[in-house]
């Protein structure tokens, strides 16, 4: 009985010590890990698995919430964006490029759509096609930065009357400059199975979870 009480007291003391240390870290500006243990939490608000999206292959939306345990500078954020094809490209008030590849405004982000006919196909990062980027929550003292990123599809370049899969993730700081800015323009087929999917995204080295949705693109 005495040994049991001694062990319980030791466990309690250790718990109090860990709690005290963790409180000190947070008070000093240390970052709290996300629930997934990643530096970034990616949530795909739409589409969601099972959705039937758009009409005639376009007019569907990918809407993302990106929660970084990082300062705004560390996210790689390079300004607000409101852009699109044609006359909307690089137009005020929030000018931005509009082309396949790594996003100039969020250069750590990878977005894939399995049925894309754009560029390199299923491995083509299409993050730079996103229309809107904004800051929705910010506290550099934690640090915490929440960004939203949205794209409405304006052409049937991703299939019509077909099932598709969307993947999104943030690549870790590969070059060691302290910024999430290392997303590739094209994701390679890392395991050589002829399919670009979450296995190949993971092989890049990620700072986030992979948000994934299997959905239907309407005729």
For 157-201, what is each residue's pLDDT tens digit?
A: 999 999 999 999 999 999 999 999 999 999 999 999 999 999 999
Q: Which residue has better confidence, 196 or 84?
A: 196
Note the pLDDT of residue 28: 33
The answer, yes or no, to whether residue 64 has pLDDT greater than 60, is yes
Res 99: pLDDT: 65
Residues 37-60: tens digit of each pLDDT:
689 999 999 999 999 999 999 999
Distance between CA 212 and CA 84 in Å, rounded? 24
For residues 118-153, one letter each, b for 16 or more C-beta atoms within 10 angstroms of the residue's C-beta and e for the rest, the string is eeeebbbbbbbbbbbbeeeebeeeebbbbbbbbbbb
SS3 116: coil
Residue 163: in which H helix or E strand, if any? strand 162-170
Q: What is the pLDDT of residues 104-163, one digit of tens each?
A: 999 999 999 999 999 999 999 999 998 888 999 999 889 999 999 999 998 999 999 999
Q: What global pTM score does this model have? A: 0.79
- What is residue 187's predicted lDDT score, i.e. its pLDDT? 98
Backbone angles phi, psi at 40, to 5 degrees: -135, 140
């Amino acid at each position: 009985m005495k040994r049991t009480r001694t062990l319980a007291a030791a466990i309690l003391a250790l718990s109090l010590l860990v709690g005290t240390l963790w409180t000190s870290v947070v008070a000093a500006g240390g970052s709290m890990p996300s629930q997934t243990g990643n530096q970034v939490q990616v949530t795909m608000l739409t589409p969601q698995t099972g959705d039937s999206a758009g009409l005639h292959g376009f007019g569907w939306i990918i809407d993302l919430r990106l929660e970084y345990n990082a300062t705004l500078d560390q996210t790689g954020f390079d300004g607000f964006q409101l852009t699109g094809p044609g006359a909307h490209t690089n137009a005020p008030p929030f000018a931005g490029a509009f082309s396949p590849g790594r996003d100039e405004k969020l250069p750590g982000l990878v977005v894939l759509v399995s049925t894309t006919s754009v560029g390199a196909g299923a491995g083509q990062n299409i993050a730079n096609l996103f229309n809107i980027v904004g800051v929705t929550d910010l506290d550099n003292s934690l640090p915490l930065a929440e960004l939203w990123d949205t794209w409405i599809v304006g052409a049937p370049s991703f299939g019509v009357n077909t099932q598709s899969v969307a993947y999104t993730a943030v690549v870790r700081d590969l070059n060691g400059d302290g910024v999430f800015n290392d997303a590739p323009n094209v994701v390679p087929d890392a395991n050589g199975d002829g399919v670009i999917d979450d296995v190949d995204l993971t092989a890049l080295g990620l700072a986030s979870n992979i948000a994934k949705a299997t959905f239907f693109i309407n005729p």
